Structure 1
């Protein structure tokens, strides 16, 4: 595992056949996952049950641990949710 000073450690990582990167992460509270597409989109799954998706072109969506969803558009998509 590799430490990064951000409160989580990478437990595995790789690149799929399309050139997209992914990694599994270990947090003190559980496990998470991150995926980044070479087209600019990315996705986080967090140990608290929340998820965050950013399309890379002006749209993002955050799902909270309680199940509520917030969507972001335009400039807000680049700043919101994570």
Structure 2
């Protein structure tokens, strides 16, 4: 069973696919019952949409953004690309 690298929880993929732009997605349910959607984009970026309302985006080029359930946004920039 796969493990979420951020939370350490195991999860099950309940559905997955690829859209017209070549980006893949899957719906995940963790051991605790939380639902999330994970999108892997053809440009190397990825995005999580979590059941608590939070989101996480990683551009794969040194920029990432986390938005908390309350709507606060936290940006991060890496010096290496």
Bin the TM-score by the shorter chain. 0.7 to 0.9
Alpha-carbon displacement from aligned partner over 1:25-48 (angstroms, at most 9, x marks no partner) = 112243110001011111001122
State the TM-score, normalizing by the size of structure 2. 0.78
Task: Find the partner of 2:28 among 25, 34, 43.
Answer: 25
Structure 2 unaligned segments of length 5 or more: list them: 4-8
Q: Which runs of 4+ in 1 moved over 4 A?
A: none
Q: CA RMSD in A?
A: 2.0
Q: Higher helix proportion, which one?
A: 1
Structure 1 unaligned segments of length 5 or more: list them: none
State the TM-score, normalizing by the size of structure 1. 0.77
Say if 2:67 is the partner of 1:63: yes
Aligned length: 75
Per the alignment, residue 38 of structure 1 pairs with 42
